[in-house]
């Protein structure tokens, strides 16, 4: 295997991308504007959740509860009737509706343990769970405070001091910016290598390479390093200029360590691109395959929803995807400031996946060239 | 010129980037005759023809065809039904997966013929071109000659007044070439008054035309009948006449090619030996039992049509392809596939040789020198020597694309020779090169063979080149028909010329192969029935033309079962995986306690958290360092620190703080954790207060959370209504995104340029099959959701279906808009992925409600179609809603359709720019 050949062929690939202006615009877009927009779009924690209150008690305690919801977490609650509640929720106007029954205060003081009903629109998945926890603690706080004053009893003087490590304000835009960098890396690596390979075959230029003393391994390695380099440089730029600079996301850990992880991830994804290209007979088929692969990679890697809450089987399957490990690694390094001592298992997993993908796609690539 | 005028070209100029293709041409072409444009490739013939056909935008000057200005869209629409254009390239305007019949039928529909007219006319055309036997064969599986005949049928279906043929016989074997021209003659005889405009690089063909235009470098050299041109230049052949017409500078140094006889001291060493080589691909035999031996230093010619097995044979000889049977030997050594040493001894120049356009001449030479492993120190000298020998010295810094074709071919040869190979394999090295450059090229070959003893194995279409070879083989359908010296072949067949001898050989082979075919041939060529009065080409929308494209697209889709399966089965699998896997009810969170108190009270506190279904307790934490480490490596989502003396302080009513650290790296998870912890803390406090004050164990009050629309908070139930919009966005958009750009990349877009079909008809026609497919997908997804995944459907099904239809019209339109302005398939795929994946997942309310988004993302979310369809899907699936409740979400979809269609119309070009 000649490193010279790999170098030379890779340079040729780089020049090829340099001659497609539309492609360059798209690469730039996906690593700048797209990341910026996605990050800025993120709601800050629980934001402007819509809540309505059906107050059938109209007592001091019920108005106390109603007064406890205010922006920015909640929009100022509307007081509605029982009848309105159903229709408003059906129309999606309210995410939460709190129903305080008649005689709530009387029953409360009499120790009859009355019930407050909280209706949650479970189709608003994002806010439903977070919001219900908040509402629960707000209502409990108000009721307990009311009872304490009424009874004149001293409260149990235990404070819960909550501190969020690594991202104190739980700023979602930090997280979103990194996730979008990761999904851009994956998307680009697969498309650049895969689609370029199909184009070469559809235009017949790959054949020419075969008459020269270069091996398929060299051709493949040259594609991996050159396309990987483009994506690596673009993502490095994005992390430093867009994420750290423009979006002012504090990065705790070492960017070079992250880039090393990205490089491993790129080997795996570029191999995946080549693999898909050899499976797909034509560009339209590649387009279909691409969607079928990208979507689960993005949604189930742990970047969109936490891995813990996925069913065990999905968690296990997704362990075979490079994204899963890369997302873990990126979060550990960039947010938690973890070093190699902590993230080596992810590095090892990525290395293993990259190796397997490389071997598999090389095998397919060799038969593809016949 | 007495005949009526067909076309008047007035000071027409055309540039591509920096290349000047046409340099102020003025020309009058008479109607009714057969006019030819002659000259090598790249002199502007094709550009001129595409301007006359109306396929390309006129940059400068005036083109009048059939009595009107071709820059005027109205005139183009009126006359395009009278023009037929057959572009350059074998079957470039055909659809390879469609059968012969379906291809012609498609063109018939485009030109507005009804079923009866079509079937009569197609039958006539197929009979007269002898294609009737192959009516059901896919166009992609035809030989080159048959493809050209089919192209001709497609061009003639609407009985044009002007037939434009751009190099119709390039890459076609001599017999098919001859048959093609006989067919044209017959058609002209049957339909007097039809004008034919042909471009060709074969001078011997041009001799039969009525009137010629010799072109070079974007200019007209001379016009006149063939006889006039010969007389004018005093030459015997048109080849010579053309060379004499060239400007002085180009002709400079031209002399006839003389190849000295091979030296007598020939040692008889065999350089290349093919011994019963056979190559099969599946049940198709590409090369059938081919044997020959080529001596060192010999120039061995290979003739045959495209796809006859020449290239495959060459590949087996170089060891690129292992032969199915037989052996190939180079210098007596059996060729081992994949043997790098063999490749170093062989120089190969492929047919469409791809010099890397992104590298300069010098970089190209340098790259190949390095790839062939020349010692770095020797490379500069070697490059200089090659540049000298092949006349590339002044062009070293130029880009190959900017060079004239002849020079590019020399560069290709220089590249193939860089490592001083002993064998040169050249696959049609001179097609499209002008006669002067071709002669120069052959002088180099002669020199290499006779002086350096390089063995040359060359394939060609030109008879005068074949005559220069020491020996030639004629290949047809994978077999070598004859192999001998040119003189011996002519003698053996008792023919007047080599061309005649080959035609005779091919005729024998064809007759032998197709005995039943003679029955079909016995039927006298049926005169082609004239087409009915033409449908007016001026109308803006005609259903039949739109349906022609819809039919074409659906046929192509049906012939690609892999794509269909991926679209249908793949989406169901994805719906399941994503619906099942995306769970927003955060559970199984890991936590651990740093209990510095370790009393019953502190343990009670920890137990409350451990007892909830949300948390899983991990081994206790011993120190701050450990706490930090375990949070940092992501093992813990939550760490609780209980201070020393906690139990005592609680009992005494002294203020005490419990610390809780949440991993904030995943903010949404952290938020949920915070909510859970706060809720549990509040409950613990209330309970403690009651026990402290000796009250009943019952809670003061209860907060009952009711998750409406999905009481079990089942992930599939919550996610499926959101995943359906996601899938129906991405898959249909990706399908349509390639539909137009693919035609652009592969060339069949030309049919849109030169037929009466309008932009709206084209776009809608392309869209219809994908809308149908997407609706099929919609039904499948909904059925699977309801019957297999048991997601309850509570609302109005007609409302959901109506919204689904609108939505897939929108998503397919989005793909078409991308496709209408992108120029490469890669960019279209990438653009579509960016346009669909990110907004659909992030801005459409799948996870975060659109109302809580901010900035540009919020704006995108509000106008993005997936947002509104997601509202409808969730409303009808989970909330028992009907049209009345959801009309607000229909409006944006209804608005999006005309907007996208207008955008597609605006961005799509009806001519090549």
Query: pLDDT of A307-341, one tens digit each?
Result: 877 888 888 888 999 999 999 888 888 888 888 88
Instruction: Please name which of B436, B423, B480 lies closest in space to residue B276, comparing C-alpha atoms.
Output: B480
Q: Does B861 touch chain A (CB under 8 A)?
A: yes
On whether the CB atoms of residues A295 and B578 are closer than 8 A, the answer is yes
**Chain B closest CA to A52's CA: distance in Å?**
14
* Residue B435: pLDDT over 90: no
From A133, A196, A306, residue closest to B669, measured CB to CB = A306
**CA B66 to mean position of chain CA atoms:** 35
> Model confidence over B583-618: pLDDT tens digits?
666 777 889 999 988 888 888 888 888 888 788 889
Identify the pLDDT of residue A185.
92
Sign of CA dihedral B116, B118, B119, B125: positive
Identify the pLDDT of residue B484.
87
> Model confidence over B774-819: pLDDT tens digits?
999 999 999 999 998 888 898 899 999 999 999 999 999 999 999 9
On the 0-12 / 13-18 / 19+ scale of CB atoms within 10 A, B887 is: exposed
Q: Does B679 touch chain A (CB under 8 A)?
A: yes
Q: B664-692 in b/e burial notation, b at 16+ Cβ within 10 A?
A: bbbbbbbbbbbbbbbbbbbbbbbbbbbee
**Chain B closest CA to A355's CA: distance in Å?**
24
Helix H segments across B325-434? 340-345, 361-371, 379-389, 405-417
Percent residues over pLDDT 70 in chain B: 91
Q: With an 8 Å Cβ cutoff, are B708 and A122 in contact?
A: yes
* Residue B419: pLDDT over 80: yes
Q: Which of B630, B668, B872 to mutate to test the interface with A (most CBs of A within 10 A)?
A: B668
Contacts of B737 in chain A (CB under 8 A): 287
Give the separation between CA B452 and CA B445, rounded to whole angstroms. 10
CA closest to A193 among chain B residues: B826
Q: A171-193 in b/e burial notation, b at 16+ Cβ within 10 A?
A: bbbbbbbbbbbbbbbbbbbbbbb
On whether the CB atoms of residues A35 and B382 are closer than 8 A, the answer is no
* Residue B856: pLDDT over 90: no
Identify the pLDDT of residue B516.
41
Mean pLDDT of chain B: 83
Q: Where are the beta strands (DSSP E) in A50-185?
A: 51-55, 78-79, 96-100, 115-121, 158-165
Rg (CA), chain A: 27
Inter-chain contacts counted by CB atoms under 8 A, chains A and B? 473
From B358, B679, B874, residue closest to A137, measured CB to CB = B679
> Model confidence over B528-554: pLDDT tens digits?
455 454 544 456 788 888 999 999 999
Q: Does A253 touch chain B (CB under 8 A)?
A: no
Identify the pLDDT of residue B525.
44
Query: In the predicted model, what is the mean pLDDT of residues B349-357?
Result: 66
Query: In the predicted model, what is the mean pLDDT of residues B247-261?
Result: 71
Q: Does B660 touch chain A (CB under 8 A)?
A: yes
* Residue B527: pLDDT over 50: no
Q: Tell me the residues of chain A between 43 and 72 that have a Cβ less than 8 Å away from chain B.
A: 43-50
Query: B514 pLDDT band (50/70/90 cuts)?
Result: low
Q: With an 8 Å Cβ cutoff, are B855 and A154 in contact?
A: no
Q: Does B401 touch chain A (CB under 8 A)?
A: no
On whether the CB atoms of residues B846 and B871 are closer than 8 A, the answer is no
Q: Does B884 touch chain A (CB under 8 A)?
A: no
Q: Which CATH number describes the domain made up of B589-692? A: 3.40.1710.10
Helix H segments across B212-356? 226-233, 238-245, 248-251, 310-317, 340-345
Q: With an 8 Å Cβ cutoff, are A123 and B721 in contact?
A: yes
Q: Does A136 touch chain B (CB under 8 A)?
A: yes
From B373, B702, B879, residue closest to A2, measured CB to CB = B373
**Chain B closest CA to A79's CA: distance in Å?**
19
* Residue A158: pLDDT over 90: no
Give the separation between CA B148 and CA B164, rounded to whole angstroms. 13
Q: Helices (H), strands (E): how many in chain B?
A: 34, 25
**Under the phi-then-psi rule, with left for phi > 0, alpha for psi from -120 to 50, and beta for the rest, what region is A36?**
alpha
* Residue B60: pLDDT over 80: yes
Q: With an 8 Å Cβ cutoff, are A158 and B657 in contact?
A: yes
**Chain A closest CA to B597's CA: distance in Å?**
14
Cβ neighbors of B89 (< 8 A, separation 6 or more) are B747
Contacts of B879 in chain A (CB under 8 A): 89-90, 92, 123
Identify the pLDDT of residue B680.
83
- CATH 3.40.50.300 fits domain B5-251: yes
Q: Does B769 touch chain A (CB under 8 A)?
A: no
Q: With an 8 Å Cβ cutoff, are A40 and B746 in contact?
A: no
* Residue A135: pLDDT over 50: yes
With vertex at residue A194, the alpha carbon angle to CA A17 and CA A188, rounded to the nearest 5 degrees, is 65
Query: In the predicted model, what is the mean pLDDT of residues B155-176?
Result: 83
Identify the pLDDT of residue A257.
93
On whether the CB atoms of residues A51 and A71 are closer than 8 A, the answer is no
Query: In the predicted model, what is the mean pLDDT of residues B416-436?
Result: 80
Q: Does A165 touch chain B (CB under 8 A)?
A: yes
Q: Does B580 touch chain A (CB under 8 A)?
A: yes
**Would you say the CATH fold of B270-513 matches that of B5-251?**
yes
Contacts of B695 in chain A (CB under 8 A): 111
Strand, helix or coil for residue A58: coil
* Residue B488: pLDDT over 80: yes
Query: B518 pLDDT band (50/70/90 cuts)?
Result: very low
Give the separation between CA B268 and CA B203, rounded to whole angstroms. 37
Identify the pLDDT of residue B790.
86
Give the separation between CA B814 and CA B395, rounded to whole angstroms. 46
Q: Does B618 touch chain A (CB under 8 A)?
A: no
Query: B336 pLDDT band (50/70/90 cuts)?
Result: confident
Give the separation between CA B12 and CA B50, rounded to whole angstroms. 12
Q: Which of B371, B626, B630 to mutate to test the interface with A (most CBs of A within 10 A)?
A: B371
* Residue B521: pLDDT over 50: no
Mean pLDDT of chain A: 84
The CATH number of B270-513, from 1.20.1250.20, 3.90.45.10, 3.60.150.10, 3.40.50.300, is 3.40.50.300
Instruction: Please name which of B676, B668, B588, B714 lies closest in space to residue B842, comparing C-alpha atoms.
Output: B668
**CA B204 to mean position of chain CA atoms:** 35
Identify the pLDDT of residue B324.
84
Give the separation between CA A77 and CA A65, rounded to whole angstroms. 10
Ranked by mean pLDDT, the top range of A65-69, A352-356, B788-792 is A352-356
* Residue B353: pLDDT over 60: no
Contacts of B369 in chain A (CB under 8 A): none
* Residue B706: pLDDT over 70: yes
Q: Does A126 touch chain B (CB under 8 A)?
A: yes
**Chain B closest CA to A362's CA: distance in Å?**
15
Query: B694 pLDDT band (50/70/90 cuts)?
Result: low
User: ipTM value of the model?
Assistant: 0.82
* pLDDT higher at B722 or B310: B722
Q: Tell me the residues of chain A between 287 and 326 that have a Cβ less than 8 Å away from chain B.
A: 287-292, 294-296, 298-300, 304-306, 308-311, 314, 318
Angle between helices A33-41 and B855-863 (to 10 degrees): 90
Q: With an 8 Å Cβ cutoff, are B824 and A282 in contact?
A: no
CA closest to B711 among chain A residues: A122
On whether the CB atoms of residues B259 and B446 are closer than 8 A, the answer is yes
- Domains of chain A plus CATH, in order, are 3-42+171-368 (no CATH), 51-151 (3.40.1710.10)
Q: How many alpha carbons lie under 13 Å from residue B211 in its C-beta half-sphere? A: 16
Strand, helix or coil for residue B78: helix
Query: pTM for this structure?
Result: 0.81
Q: With an 8 Å Cβ cutoff, are B853 and A41 in contact?
A: yes
* Residue B871: pLDDT over 50: yes
From B719, B721, B857, residue closest to A41, measured CB to CB = B857
Identify the pLDDT of residue B351.
61
Identify the pLDDT of residue B712.
63
Residue B598: what are its φ and ψ, rounded to 5°? Answer: 55, 50
* pLDDT higher at B778 or B275: B778
* pLDDT higher at B556 or B538: B556
Query: What does DSSP say about strands B423-427 and B346-349: parallel, antiparallel, or unpaired?
Result: parallel
Query: B171 pLDDT band (50/70/90 cuts)?
Result: low
Contacts of A342 in chain B (CB under 8 A): 629, 632-633
Query: In the predicted model, what is the mean pLDDT of residues A42-68?
Result: 83
Contacts of B846 in chain A (CB under 8 A): 125
Percent residues over pLDDT 70 in chain A: 94
* Residue B257: pLDDT over 80: no
- Domain boundaries in chain B? 5-251, 270-513, 543-579+713-907, 589-692
* Residue B337: pLDDT over 80: no
Please state, in angstroms and as integers, the Cα–Cα distance from residue A87 to each residue in A81, A119, A126, A200, B468, following that order. Answer: 11, 13, 21, 58, 91
CA closest to B858 among chain A residues: A41
Identify the pLDDT of residue A204.
64
CA closest to B366 among chain A residues: A8
Cβ neighbors of B271 (< 8 A, separation 6 or more) are B294, B295, B296, B297, B298, B330, B331, B422, B423, B455
From B663, B675, B713, residue closest to A137, measured CB to CB = B675
Give the separation between CA B105 and CA B122, rounded to whole angstroms. 7
Q: With an 8 Å Cβ cutoff, are A125 and B718 in contact?
A: yes
Give the separation between CA B722 and CA B873, rounded to whole angstroms. 7
Identify the pLDDT of residue A283.
86
């Amino acid at each position: 295997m000649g490193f010279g050949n790999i170098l030379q062929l890779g340079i040729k690939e780089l020049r090829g991308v340099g001659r497609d202006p539309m492609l360059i615009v798209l690469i730039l877009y996906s690593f700048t504007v797209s990341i910026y927009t996605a990050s800025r779009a993120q709601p800050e924690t629980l934001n402007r959740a819509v809540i309505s209150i059906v107050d059938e008690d109209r007592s001091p305690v019920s108005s106390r509860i109603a007064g406890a919801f205010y922006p920015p977490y909640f929009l100022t609650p509307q007081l509605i009737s029982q009848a309105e509640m159903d229709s408003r929720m059906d129309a999606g106007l309210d995410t939460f509706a709190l129903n305080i029954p008649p005689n709530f205060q009387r029953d409360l003081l009499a120790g009859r343990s009355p019930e407050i009903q909280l209706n949650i629109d479970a189709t608003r998945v994002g806010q439903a769970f977070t919001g219900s926890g908040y509402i629960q603690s707000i209502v409990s706080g108000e009721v307990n405070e009311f009872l304490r004053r009424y009874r004149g009893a001293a409260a149990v003087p235990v404070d819960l001091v909550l501190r969020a490590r690594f991202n104190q304000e739980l700023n979602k835009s930090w997280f979103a910016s990194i996730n979008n960098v990761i999904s851009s890396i994956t998307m680009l690596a697969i498309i650049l290598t895969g689609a370029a390979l199909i184009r070469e075959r559809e235009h017949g230029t790959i054949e020419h390479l075969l008459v020269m003393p270069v091996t398929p391994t060299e051709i493949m390695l040259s594609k991996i390093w050159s396309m990987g380099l483009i994506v690596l440089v673009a993502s490095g730029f994005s992390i430093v200029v867009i994420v750290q600079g423009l979006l002012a996301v504090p990065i705790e850990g070492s960017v070079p360590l992250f880039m090393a992880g990205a490089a491993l991830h790129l080997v795996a994804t570029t191999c995946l691109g080549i693999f898909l290209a050899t499976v797909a007979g034509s560009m339209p088929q590649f387009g279909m395959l691409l969607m079928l692969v990208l979507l689960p990679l993005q949604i189930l890697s742990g970047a969109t929803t936490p891995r813990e809450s996925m069913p065990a089987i999905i968690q296990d399957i997704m362990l075979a995807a490079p994204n899963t490990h890369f997302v873990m690694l990126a979060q550990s390094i960039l947010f938690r400031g973890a070093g190699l001592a902590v993230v080596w298992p992810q590095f090892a997993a990525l290395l293993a996946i990259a190796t397997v993908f490389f071997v598999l796609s090389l095998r397919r690539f060799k038969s593809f060239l016949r | 010129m007495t005949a009526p005028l067909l076309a008047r070209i007035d000071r027409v100029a055309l540039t591509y980037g920096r290349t000047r293709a046409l340099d102020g041409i003025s020309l009058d072409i008479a109607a009714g005759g057969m006019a030819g444009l002659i000259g090598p490739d790249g002199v502007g013939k094709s550009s001129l023809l595409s301007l006359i056909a109306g396929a390309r935008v006129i940059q400068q000057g005036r083109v009048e065809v059939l009595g009107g200005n071709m820059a005027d869209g109205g005139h183009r629409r009126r006359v395009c039904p009278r023009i037929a254009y057959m572009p350059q390239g074998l079957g470039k305007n055909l659809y390879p997966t469609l059968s012969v019949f379906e291809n012609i039928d498609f063109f018939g529909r485009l030109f507005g013929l009804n079923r009866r007219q079509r079937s009569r006319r197609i039958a006539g055309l197929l009979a007269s071109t002898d294609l009737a036997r192959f009516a059901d064969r896919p166009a992609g599986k035809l030989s080159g000659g048959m493809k050209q005949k089919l192209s001709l049928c497609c061009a003639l279906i609407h009985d044009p007044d002007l037939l434009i043929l751009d190099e119709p016989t390039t890459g076609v074997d001599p017999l098919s070439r001859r048959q093609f021209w006989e067919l044209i003659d017959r058609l002209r005889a049957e339909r007097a008054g039809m004008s034919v405009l042909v471009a060709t690089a074969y001078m011997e063909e041009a001799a039969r035309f009525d009137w010629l235009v010799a072109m070079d470098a974007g200019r007209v050299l001379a016009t006149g009948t063939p006889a006039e041109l010969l007389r004018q230049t005093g030459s015997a052949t048109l080849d010579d006449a053309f060379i004499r017409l060239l400007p002085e500078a180009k002709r400079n140094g031209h002399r006839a090619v003389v190849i000295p006889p091979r030296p007598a001291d020939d040692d008889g060493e065999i350089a290349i030996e093919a011994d019963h080589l056979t190559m099969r691909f599946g049940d198709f035999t590409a090369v059938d039992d081919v044997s020959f031996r080529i001596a060192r230093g010999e120039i061995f010619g290979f003739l045959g049509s495209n796809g006859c097995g020449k290239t495959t044979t060459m590949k087996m000889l170089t060891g690129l392809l292992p032969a199915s049977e037989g052996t190939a030997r180079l210098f007596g050594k059996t060729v081992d596939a994949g043997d790098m040493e063999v490749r170093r001894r062989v120089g190969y120049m492929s047919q469409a040789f791809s010099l890397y356009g992104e590298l300069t001449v010098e970089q190209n030479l340098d790259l190949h020198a390095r790839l062939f492993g020349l010692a770095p120190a020797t490379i500069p000298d070697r490059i200089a020597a090659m540049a000298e020998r092949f006349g590339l010295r002044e062009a070293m810094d130029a880009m190959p694309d900017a060079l004239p074709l002849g020079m590019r071919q020399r560069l290709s040869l220089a590249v193939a020779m860089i490592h001083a190979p002993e064998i040169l394999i050249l696959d049609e090295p001179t097609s499209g090169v002008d006669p002067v450059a071709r002669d120069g090229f052959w002088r180099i070959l002669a020199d290499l063979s006779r002086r350096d003893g390089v063995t040359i194995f060359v394939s060609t279409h030109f008879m005068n080149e074949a005559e220069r070879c020491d020996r030639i083989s004629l290949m047809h359908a994978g077999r070598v028909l004859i192999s001998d010296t040119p003189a011996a072949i002519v003698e053996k067949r008792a023919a007047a010329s080599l061309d005649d001898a080959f035609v005779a050989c091919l005729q024998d082979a064809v007759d032998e192969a197709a005995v039943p075919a003679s029955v079909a041939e016995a039927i006298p060529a049926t005169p082609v029935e004239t087409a009915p009065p033409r449908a007016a080409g001026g109308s803006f929308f005609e259903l039949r033309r739109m349906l022609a494209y819809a039919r074409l697209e659906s046929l192509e889709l049906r012939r690609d079962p892999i794509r269909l399966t991926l679209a249908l089965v793949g989406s169901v699998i994805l719906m399941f995986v994503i619906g099942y896997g995306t769970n927003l009810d955060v559970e199984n969170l890991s936590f651990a306690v740093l209990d510095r108190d370790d009393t019953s009270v502190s343990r009670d506190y920890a137990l409350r958290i451990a007892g909830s279904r949300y948390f899983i307790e991990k081994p206790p934490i011993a120190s701050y360092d450990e706490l930090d480490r375990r949070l940092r490596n992501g093992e813990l989502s939550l760490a609780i620190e209980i201070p020393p003396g906690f139990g005592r302080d609680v009992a005494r009513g002294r203020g005490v703080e419990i610390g809780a650290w949440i991993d904030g790296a995943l903010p949404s998870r952290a938020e949920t954790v915070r909510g859970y912890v706060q809720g549990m803390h509040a409950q613990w406090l209330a309970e403690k207060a009651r026990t402290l004050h000796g009250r009943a164990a019952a809670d003061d009050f209860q907060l009952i959370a009711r998750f409406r629309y999905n009481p079990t908070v089942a992930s599939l139930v919550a996610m499926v209504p959101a995943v359906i919009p996601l899938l129906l966005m991405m898959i249909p958009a990706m399908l349509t995104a390639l539909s137009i750009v693919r035609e652009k990349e592969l060339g069949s877009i030309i049919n849109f340029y030169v037929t009466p079909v309008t932009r709206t008809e084209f776009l809608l026609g392309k869209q219809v099959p994908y809308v149908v497919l997407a609706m099929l997908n919609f039904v499948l997804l909904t059925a699977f959701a309801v019957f297999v995944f048991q997601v309850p459907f509570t609302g109005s099904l007609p409302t959901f279906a109506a919204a689904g239809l609108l939505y897939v019209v929108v998503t397919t339109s989005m793909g078409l808009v991308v496709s209408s302005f992108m120029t490469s398939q890669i960019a279209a795929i990438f653009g579509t992925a960016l346009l669909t994946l990110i907004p659909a997942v992030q801005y459409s309310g799948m996870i975060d409600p659109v109302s809580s988004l901010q900035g540009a993302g919020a704006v995108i979310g509000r106008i993005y179609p997936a947002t509104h369809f997601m509202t409808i899907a969730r409303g009808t699936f989970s909330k028992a809603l009907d049209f009345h409740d959801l009309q607000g979400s229909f409006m944006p979809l209804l608005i999006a359709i005309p907007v996208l269609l207008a955008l597609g119309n605006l961005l799509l070009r009806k001519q090549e720019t």
